[in-house]
Every structure is written in C-alpha cells, then in structure tokens.
Structure 1
C-alpha cells in the first residue's frame, strides 16, 4: 500500500524541479475558492442502458450525449489541476496588474456544481435520443459530493430505436391547387429519389432527414433553381402505426413562393473590375467583350485575362457549381482582395437572372524590409537583411512580380567541435569559420497556363499558374571558398482538386561555379576525389516534378495525411542530343561539357510522408517517414554538392547537430568536424514520431523520437584515408542514429517559437557494442552524451 502524505508535508520535501513542485501543489488547494455549500465539478460520466445488446449498434451514442454537458469540468492532468492552481495562486479581484494577467491568461476559474443545470441537460439528452429514433427514453442524473468535489453520473434508459417502414415523396399538400402540381420542381425532385439518404428498415434519424433536404437542394441548385432552399421541404413522420415503425412523407410548403419552383437561366453578366465599397454602380462606361459587360475599362486588368476565371455564361442554366467556381478562381488572382457575385431577376424576361460580379482590388505594390537573426539547419547563424518588392498586377493580367534581395553574415555556432579550427589545421588566416551570402531573385507568377499549345481552360476551383524565375546567389565561406550560383526556371502548377497539387518545371537550369578557393580547402579537395567532383563547376539542367497530396485541408478529420514527392532529373536530354550527334562517351576524368563546362547527369527521388492523428482538439500524434536516393550515371559519378542529402538538426534528428551524422558509420576526424564538408550522402532515410499536447494558454509541449542516417552509393574515403562506407541493405539498420527528447512551444496565432531538447540514444559512428549511449546520459548541455537545445521557428513537420 502506498502511504499518503499530507499536502503540508509535501511542501517541505526537497523537489527536483519547479515543474514537479507546481504539479504537486496543484492538488492541494483546488477547492480554495469554492463557496460554502457548493462543490467543484470535477468529473462526469454518461451511461446508456438498453433493453438488449442490439443497442450497441451505435457505439458513439454515449459520446454524443456526453458532448452536451456544459460547462465542462476544469482541465486536469494526471488527476491534477494546473490551470486551476494558477488561478487560485494568483487570484485577485483587481481588473489589471501582473497577477490579474497571469490569473486570466494561464489560469482557469473553478467550475462549480451549482453552474451545472442537470434538468436542462437531461432534456437536451432526451431530445438527442429522440432525434436518433429512441422515442421512448428516460434520462436520470445523480451527483456525488465528497470533500467539496462533485461527480455527476448520467444514465440514459432507452428501448429499441424506431425504424422507417415507408418513404413517400408526396410533395404536394392535399389542398394545393392543381396548377401547382404541374410546376417543374416536382418532377425534378422525384428524379432525385434514386440517390436518397433515407432507406426503409433503417433507424429514424433527424440528422439524415436534414442531410436529405440539403442533398435535394444541392441537386436543384445545379439545375437552375436559384430561389429554392432546404427550408421549403418538410418531413412529416407518422409514429402511430405500431411495432416501433414510422412512415416518412416529404412535401413542399404550400407557402413556397412561385419563383422558387422554376429553374432560371443567366441573361446579362456585368463585371465591375475595379470596384470599391461606395462606388456608383453606373454602367455608362462599359466595354462589351465576348458577351460580357466589362465595367469601367481595361486600365486595371484586361478582360481577356480576367474572363478565364469567369464560368457564368449568357443563356446558360444557373448552377451553384459555376458560381463557386467563378468566385474561387477570381479570388485566386493576386490583383483582387474581395469577390462578390450577386443575381437579380430580369424584369423583362421570365425565369432569367442578371449576374453582377464585384471585384475589389488588392494593394497593387508593396515594399517590405526585414532585419532578422537567421539560424540555418547547417548551424550557421547571424544577422540578415531581406528586401522584397511585389507588384500584384504587373502587366494588367494579375501577374505577380516579385524581386527579393538578401544579405546575411553567418558564423558557425555548433557542431561536434566548438567551431574553431584545431591547432595545426591550415586556414586562410582567421580561426573562425565565417560566411556571408548575397542573393537576388526575381520571378513572375502568371495566373494561367502559358504554353505554345492551345490548351483548354481547366474547370478547377484553383487557379493554374505559370512561374518564371531567375536569380543569382553568392556564398562565401571566408576560410575556404566562394560559390556563385545562377538559376533560371520555367514551370507550371495546377491543382485539379482540393487535396492534390502538381508542379512541374520542364526548364530548370542552374550553374554552380567555385572560385576563390583557399589553400586549406584545396588541400582537402586534392586528397578527396569524391568531394572534388561534387564541388566542380557544372551545369544542373533538367526537369523537376513535385506532387503533393494532403488531407489537412479537412481540419475536422481525426486522421490526416501529407505526402510530398520530388523527382529531380538532370542532364538526360543534353546527353541524349550529344549522343545522337556522335559525341565521345564521357569518363570521370573527361566528362562531356555544355558551353565549355561539365554538366550533371543524375536522377533524384525524395518522398516525405506524414501522418497526423488528432487525438483531441489540442493534442496530436505525428509520424513522419522521409526516404530519398540520388543515382548518378553517364556524365557524373557524384551528385552535385548542392543536391546531396544531410541529416541532423532542429527539423531532423534533434539529438544531433546538423550534418553531424553519416554517411553510415563514418566518424569525421575531430580536426575537420568544424568544416561540415564530408557528411553528405546519396541515400537518406529518416523517421520521426512526436506527441504534441497543451500545457497552458499558448504554451504547448511535445515528446519525440527521431531516427535516421545517410549513406553513399559507392565507397569513398576522406583526406585522412578513413573509409566512408556505402549503403548495405544487410547492415543499414544497425547504422541508424536514434535520439529522443522533449520540447516547449510558444504557439500564438501568427507564429510558433520552438525549444526542443534532444537526447542521444544511439550513435552510429561509435564502435559496435558502444553505440547505445542513453545509459551514459550526463544530463548536461555539453559532453559527448549531453543534451542539445534546438531553437527554431515553426513546427519541425
């Protein structure tokens, strides 16, 4: 038997941490501000009691009834009440001050038994059961109070649910005029019966009937019935036929307006292309273009570009789908901030509608500057300046023009060493590994497919785009080299449905040129042919395809997935053309060239899969699996340095610094650990498991396990002659690095600041038998088996 310790004695015991003290004390005074004669509402239960086992057909019935209990008890964790403890500890009657801020921001006032209206809740539960076909039900509640703490137990006594015997779409009331029986809506509703949600023999359910009304209305809205609504449909239920059965009758209200009973077509379409609230709606300055009335002129967005997003056509049947399609496509144009579509009956033509599309422009030009402290995944950190210019309507076609310039100065702040070159290692003159980066990138996103072929306008809710970009980047590692990178691309993006996005860049060109190589870095390259070839001047030319599938667009789902596939291919087209022209086969020493420079030839595949289990509204279990591989052939024997994989860091395996693992069991010599050049690979395998939970207010917590490594396709050696092993399917599992840890996140509406503490569990570069290091954990932020603090913006995945 575990001895009980009074709360006062707990306060005298030594504690290991402030957190433990808070948790212990939180159980001592939770009823401190509970009035005499009242009790703290701490828990409740709902039990459904049926006549026989068949009532188990609906396992969610108890959960549905439990959801009506309001107010809910105070937030608890392992039987403790941290929020309530904060409220009681910092309680004040003042409306301002630090105590009031803590009390209201992080605390939670006690939920009292007197606030729970059991009579009203009993009635709500009874109505919920009635709506599910349990017409004969009885709800009872019982409150148990002990030590000023109350638990309420509900019992719902039910019989078998009533089932549907017959379904009739009578539609017309008995006293309706014969003329009303001939209107089109009755015929069209009868034709919807094949897909009815109501079935004979199934339990009566009010929700199903409401959904059936919405289904019929949705079908009618696609057949021209602009003025129809679900409220015009009435279900009558006869429950007196006996044997727990009901007959269901569907009819239209006799008071339904005549205009709701006829389909409508679209007559004139007016487009106000530069509208703002309060503008006069005069149509005097109108351009007629392809049957549309374009107001006032083309000084903002040209009609021929805008009309690719308009799917309302003259003399076409009104459909809600076309309205939603038009609204979404126009909202997807950068030039506009708001879109509103309205309809009015044409007074001169029967059953015709005039459409009015009001487009409110967004701010056309914007200039933005940011001064920030940047910490990259390769553990370089320092101040940075970013200046960007945006024009949301660059050429009167809602094209988004962006120009961004960046400048950063960075210093190596992490690694297996302190970041300083060891004594005896040649450097260019400074013993710290500094870096600066300058770049400029310009791009234009065109909200349509620009192609030499005449392609049809895609009927999707999302705007297909064409993206053209070009840029230059200069990276200078002061002690080693300067790398100039030029890039240009031309590609398309389209989203055929909400969950799927395709991006393809048939033209993707990058030229990487190494310059200002220091003597120290030259010595490293001379002893490592593998590294030399990855750093050589070269073209990277070829298509890139990306496919994204996600169900996170449905936030109400308990289970969500995200998958991003990247296929990056370089050099195949150029090599094929040169082969047809009779060029000599390439070799490692004499590769084929383009404009006098070698080009890379490879195929790279990378897949990022994530699974999200939303356990509660604020707690979540997330799993991720990343797998990638790059294959070189023909003109290349090594992937370009900028395309190789690395692992470790705040968004990867958080118990290890960036680029400090692999390839395989490779252990970088201490004298070169500060450089981070060797630890790259052709194959990557990584998995993560993270549980996220709320703490208080905008403070969130997490516990995680990370695992993975990188490998080479072929064996290589470093400048010390140490082997960097290739991937072996028989041994790779024994070379997986594993880390665990916990995190604190400050999650406000517009950003997340993340603090993750990583603890190494398995270190692959140690000798076999010594790789599991959790037993040697020192509990400090230094040493070989110490903790690692990762500070980052946003969630890791």
Structure 2
C-alpha cells in the first residue's frame, strides 16, 4: 500500500486542473444566481465635468467620488470573478453541508443592481463637492443593462469653485493663548486665492491645536476652534474667520508646566497607587524600588522633566521609547492638575512588566529542492530583563539533520564515495547562539543620549556551530560580535558592528573530500582554517511602514571589511609580506583580508487595495587581497533557491557559464565574487486569505579572477566576469505561486520554470521550448515551499 501513495497523490494532483476548470466555467455564467427583474452590478464610472473650473482637480475629484460608491461590484481578476464563480459553482438552497460551507465561506453572492441606492450615493457625492468649494453642483446617474449585467455612470457637473479672499484669526487680547496663536499663524494652511476646501480647514484646526500642545496647552483641542464663512461677498469668493469658542474652558487657554513626575516601574492592574515606597532619583519619584529595572537605565528613555513646559512631542517620545523596552508590555502616562498649583501638572508613568523569562521550542521540517530533507529542532530561552536594565538575553540551541530522500544532487558522487540510500544519514548540524541586546549605547566614550523615537541598542553575540557531512568533512565555526543599532528617524536604520570575529576550522575530512580539494585549489583555500577579523557597516532606508502610499522603497547597503587593522599593525611591526603559501597568522592561524560591498534594492507599487508589483535588484562584489587570495567560503555570493532564482536549486547557479557537473554533488555550492540578481513579481488576491503571484527571476554570480588547478588549467572555465558577455550568462526563470496569507504568517508555494540555463552551449541555453510540465529532468519545474514572502 505504501508504494501506491505516490500514484494516489498524482491522481489528486491531476484532478486539480479539472476542479479549477469546473469552477472557472461555472463562473463564466456570472448571472446564474441573479434573480429575475434584476441585474448583476458589474462596474461603474464617475465623470466630473467642469468646463469653467480652473482648479484642474477633475482627476482627484473623480477618485474621491468613486470611493463613495457602495456596494462595490464582485471582485474580479482580468475579467474573471473567482469568488462569484465559486458561489455559482457550489450554489445550493440548503443551509448546511459541504456545498453550503464552500458557497458561503469561499464564495461571494452576486452584487445586484437593486442593492445600489443611486439617489443616496448622488447626494453623498454632491456633499463631497460642496465641501471642496463647489456650492452649486449637480450629480446625476444612469444605468445600462445588457444580458442581466448592469453598469452605472455618474456625472457631476461643477463650475468655478469658491475661493478664499480674506482669512482672519480673531482672538481676545485678554487670553493668554493670543501670543501662541500669533506665533503659528504665519504657517497657516489657508492662503488667499486657494479653493475653499473643508478638509484643509479641518487640517488647519488640527495644526494649530498640535502646535499649542507643544507649547504647554495640555487641555486644548481642535474642537475648541470654530470657523465662520461668508460666501455673500460676491465673485465666488469667501471670507473666513477662525476663532475660539466662547464656551471654551479656562484651563484649555493657558499653558502648563510639569511638577512632580511619578514612575510606577512595576505596575499591574489593581495595584494600590500608594507612594510610600518611593525612591527620589534626579528629580523623579521612582516607585516602588529598583528590584525590577534600575532607575538610571530607565530614565534614559524618559524625556519629561520637572519644571519644564509640557509638550506633546516629549510625551510621545517618552511613550515610544519606553514601549521599545523588552522588560515592559504596556506603557501609559496620565496627567493631573497639581493640587497646590493649578498652573502645573503632575505626570504619572505606569509601566506594566512583560513576562520576564520564557522557553520556546520549535520543531520544523526542512525540505530542499535537491532532494534532501530532514527534521530540525530549535529551543530558545529568553530573559527580557537580564541585568535590571531591560536587557534581552536570548540563548538558542538548534539541531537538524538532512537525509537524501528524493534522488541525489545534480552530479555524480565523487570517486571513492559510496552512494547513500534513503535511510542513511547524510549530515547533521548542532549549534548554540547567545545574544544580549542592551537598550542603550555601551561604549568607552561618553555618548549623549540620542533623542530618537527608537531606543538605540548594543548587541553582543557569541556562538558555536558544528556541521558534519557524512562521508566528506566536519566543520567547526565560532563567532563573536559587538554591534550598535540606532534609528535617527523612522525610515532610516544604521547597524554598525565594529567587532566581528569568526573562526572556521575543518575538524576532519575524508580521502574523497581531500581528493576534490586537491583538484580544486580555489575550494581548498576557501575551506582553510582561518580567522575573519573585521567590521560590518549597514544602512537601511525603508518606507514600507507607510502603507497608505502608492509606491514604497527599501534599500540596504552593506560594507564588510576584514583583516585590514590586523594587517596594518603587523606591517608596522615589520612582519614579512604574505604569500599564498605563507600567509600572515594570528595564534598560528591565517586570517582573511577582503572588502565586500552588497546592495539590496526593492520597489513596491501598490495597484488597487491588494495587488502589488514588486521589483528587486541585488548587486554585490567582494575582493580579497593582501593576506587572502580568495574570499572565505561563508562570504562568497550565491544565487538560486526560494528567495532568489526560484527556477533553480538553492546556490546552484554559476559562476558565469561554468558547468559544475560532478562537483555539484551535495556537499558544496556554486559561489562567486560578484553577484547580480533581479526579480519582478506581480502579487494579486484570489479569494479570502489565498493570494497569487507570477514572477520572473534573473541572475548569476561570477569570479573576479581566474583560478587554476594543479595542471595549470582553469579550475572553473567560463566563470570569470566579462563586461561584454555577462548579460548572456544570466540564468532566467519564471513561474507562479500560491500564498496562504493569514496576517501573522505566510505559507508560500512557488513553482519555478527554467527559461535560460547559462552553462549550456550557446544557442541551446533557452530551454523553455523543452518544458513538458514535469518536476523531473534537468529542465523540469522546481517547487519551493517557504514561510514568508521572498522579498
């Protein structure tokens, strides 16, 4: 029975197109469930006609008015309405059963013409136009019905909008707020000659209230400002008068300074607010004691000061900085008028601790497109307040195994290496990584506290990893790092690792692996025991947090340096110049010397509410010199895999036009000194949490210098970068994907189809014509299963 399971799976896979075809053709009759004497509402159009309108706002007005149409027609993709198609295909009058569940949960009933109240929508549109200065406007609609499908056309006719003539801010001289208002008036959003616009007038009220909030007016709000508009002055003009309501409370019209500031550093709901156990520290009342987070560490994130003027800006900065501390899960700040001085406020900062310690275990199954798979286990311990300064300590233990379960790698096993069967262990990996994240800059130099919304961070890392490849080698790697991270503003992040130490050591090798290294000097040098001693500098610019924008950007630039400082010191003390056979050493081991520059650029274009076009360009170059003739293996570039070229195995492409043949047998990947990779992906909704995508990927890696074997022959012919041929050596793939996006995580299935294979002879590299729809063979499809979006 076990041997028949693949046939069963293939049967269901082969039936899938038939099921999809059934849904598609059932959905072709979109009016199947539309009642008699009604029609399916399929679309609408809004046109604004204003021949005498000099404001040139027709396009913006049409977009604004279109947003008022309710309900929206059934969702469509290239004219096909998938959710309506499912509803029609599984339509049943029964109120239970699988068909009813599919119809109601995955499908969508037809949106009918009778559900569209054109009169009410026209009234809303007219009101919107009135708010934009078109006090005399008309809105009409007409419906077109053909074969039980209806479209509606709205036409709005407008003239020249009313424009602002005089703008006056009338205040009472006796009010203390007068001077503050006069200071912000020059930055007014209302200017003479501008079209009357209610939304701009509302924004002006918010702007003034916000400025006053930052001048101590804690109780002031936009609702205390009121407009008077006179449209009878003639010539389509309006005079605007802005004033404070006469009923405004007195406390809203005067500024406040801060008196006592109480910090409840270990607060929980229901706690008594007694201040008996109070520590006075630098003018703050710290309650109850320092048994949780020490005051000197906490106060670096508090920007409210005794005797200072209350400002909304300092309030928000304090809230955001305290929220970034791992020791706390809730932050709240309240203010009360001081009981002795009614011109001052007392501030109460309530900090609710997060769960201090936690243990997390994760079991995962790793499947690779080259036929290797195996289980993995990750166990992590977290302490969110390790040393009473909100330090986050993470200790993570990982382990995984990989066995060959679906054929073997792309090449034949090297001579002397026995083929492994499906039950033999191919490799296993064990590791431990400790990271301490400190929410402040820890430095031998005195650095002032950064006034940013995001708490600066110092990271200290220490780890060890052991990898055993059965039949080939065992590898030990050690790492230690000291890094800083800070965000001067929301879109920009700097990550500086001044100390980055790694040591890689081959613990043991087999004769077969030594034979391969003997024939490939470049690979031997990559695997030599060596230190990586250097620094990493990274800058990231991203606007992805602004989800309301049409286009979004992401760019990450990385500079990785190693060996320069050590080499400079050794040169100063008179060390001999290094050679390939006799490099300089530290503690008897050579060290790497290189410079590496990498850039990852992405552009996101939002099309509609859920569709998105994403373009990505990744470039990188690494150059070894001085004490190294090649980049360390762990620093070399590679392409291919679920987040790269999805039509090719992970790290299996290149360099250049080089054909790896038998050296691609499972234990090392194709790498290079230069990387060029580009991706274009269109993402669109299908229904519910099912999303779709189509994509095109292209890229390759190349060497900077030719490498030779012991016979003096090129070790990887066709792998050196050549500006005149590199475009012809790009690997190209296309494909489609299905994503299950349930907000907090995404399961992704991408099917990659090879289009161009660079290592084939010229004239034979385009292989799309040989595509047969199978997952087998050199030109077959590749299934990528991953978590999260590729970029």
TM-score for the superposition, normalised by structure 1: 0.94
**Residue aligning to 2:676:** 685
Deviation at 1:290, TM superposition (A): 0.8
Q: Which runs of 5+ in 2 are unaligned?
A: 1-14
| Bigger mean CA offset, 102-111 vs 592-601 | 102-111
- What residue in structure 2 maps to residue 40 of structure 1? 40
1:29-49 superposed Cα distances (whole Å, 9 cap, x missing partner): x33333333322221111112
Of 608, 619, 629, the residue aligned with 1:637 is 629
Q: 1:200 aligns with which of 183, 192, 207?
A: 192
Distance in 1 (alpha carbons) for counterparts of 2:197 and 2:653? 58
Distance 1:145 1:169 in 2: 54
Structure 1 residue 355 corresponds to structure 2 residue 356: no
For 1:100, what is the secondary structure of its paired residue? helix
Question: Residue 415 of structure 2 corresponds to which residue in structure 1?
Answer: 425
* Contact 2:141 2:155 (8 Å CA) reproduced: yes
| Cα displacement string for residues 320-339 of structure 1 (whole angstroms, at most 9, x for unaligned residues) | 01000100110100000000
Using the TM superposition, name which of 110-119 and 283-292 deviates more. 110-119
> Aligned partners of 2:568, 2:446: CA distance in 1, in Å?
28
Structure 1 position 98, deviation (Å): 2.7
Is the 8 Å Cα contact of residues 384 and 408 (structure 1) preserved in structure 2?
Answer: yes
1: distance between equivalents of 2:771 and 2:708? 31
Matches within 5 A, 1:12-411: 17-28=18-29, 30-52=30-52, 54=54, 56-92=56-92, 96-172=96-172, 181-375=173-367, 380-411=372-403
* Aligned residue in 1 for 2:707: 716
* 2:698 is the alignment partner of 1:707: yes
2:448 aligned residue (442, 445, 456): 456
Secondary structure of residue in 2 paired with 1:542 = strand
Q: Distance in 2 between matches of 1:572 and 1:599?
A: 10
Q: Could you tell me how far apart the structure 1 residues matched to 2:281 and 2:80 are?
A: 69
Task: Give the match for residue 768 of structure 2.
Answer: 774
1:794 alignment counterpart: 788
Query: Does the alignment pair 1:752 with 2:742?
Result: no
Deviation at 1:152, TM superposition (A): 1.5
1:194 is displaced (CA, Å) by 1.2
Deviations 1:564-605 (A, max 9, x none): 111111111111111111100000000000011000000111
CA gap of 1:54–1:424, structure 2 versus 1, over 3 A, is: closer
**CA offsets 1:238-259 (integer angstroms, 9 cap, x no match):** 1111111111111100000011
Secondary structure (helix, strand or coil) at the match of 2:769 reads helix
More off after superposition, 367-376 vs 246-255: 367-376
Alignment partner of 1:478 is 2:466: no
1:660 touches 1:676 (CA, 8 Å); kept in 2?
no
Question: What is the deviation of 1:136?
Answer: 0.5
Relative to structure 1, the CA distance from residue 268 to residue 97 in structure 2 (aligned partners, 3 Å threshold; closer, same or farther) is farther
Contact 1:646/1:681 (<8 A) preserved: yes
Q: Where in structure 2 are the equivalents of 1:735-746 lying within 5 Å?
A: 735-746=729-740
Q: Could you give the per-residue CA deviations for residues 445-491 of structure 1, whole angstroms, max 9, x where no partner exists? A: 11111111111111000010111110100011112111100111111
Q: Is the 8 A contact 1:400 1:445 kept in 2?
A: yes
2:721 alignment partner in structure 1: 727
Q: Distance in 2 between matches of 1:17 and 1:54?
A: 57
CA displacement 1:636-687 (0-9 Å, x = unmatched):
0010111111111111111111122110000012x33223536110110000
Q: C-alpha displacement at 1:778, in angstroms?
A: 2.0
Question: 1:230 & 1:675 partners in 2: Cα distance?
Answer: 67
CA contact (8 A) 1:446 1:465 kept: yes
> How many matched pairs?
772
Query: Displacement of 1:347 after TM fit?
Result: 2.3
1:425–1:684: structure 2 CA closer, same or farther, 3 Å change rule? same
Secondary structure of 1:102's aligned partner: helix
Do the aligned partners of residues 629 and 735 (structure 1) sit closer, same or farther apart at CA in structure 2, a change above 3 Å counting?
same
Q: Is 1:524–1:719's contact at 8 Å kept on the other side of the alignment?
A: no
CA–CA distance in structure 2, aligned partners of residues 376 and 130 of structure 1: 61
Distance 1:423 1:257 in 2: 85
Residues 1:694 and 2:659 are matched in the alignment: no
1:7 matched to which residue of 2? none
Partner of 1:597: 589
2:559 paired residue number:
567
Greater displacement, 17-26 / 544-553? 17-26
Q: 1:458 to 1:678 in 2, by over 3 A?
A: closer
Q: Work out which of the residue numbers 434, 437, 443 in structure 1 matches 2:429.
A: 437
Query: What is the match of residue 8 of structure 1?
Result: none
Task: Indicate if the aligned counterparts of 1:273 and 1:301 stay in contact, CA closer than 8 A.
Answer: yes
Cα offset, 1:101, TM superposition: 2.7
Where 1:458 maps in the other structure, the secondary structure is coil
Q: How many angstroms does 1:270 deviate by?
A: 0.4
**Cα distance in 1 for residues equivalent to 2:375 and 2:16:** 40
Summarize the Cα distance change of 1:785–1:376 in structure 2 as closer, same or farther, 3 Å threshold. Answer: closer
| Contact preservation (8 Å) 2:469, 2:667 | no
Paired residue secondary structure (1:56): coil
- Residue of structure 1 equivalent to 2:656: 664
Whole-angstrom CA distance in 1 between matches of 2:22 and 2:723: 49
Query: When the two structures are superposed, what TM-score results if normalisation uses the length of structure 2?
Result: 0.95
- Distance, in Å, in 2 between the alignment partners of 1:591 and 1:204 is 76
Contact map agreement 2:404 2:420 (CA 8 A) in 1:
no
Distance (whole Å) between structure 2 residues aligned to residue 530 and residue 54 of structure 1: 70
* Deviates further, 420-429 or 698-707: 420-429
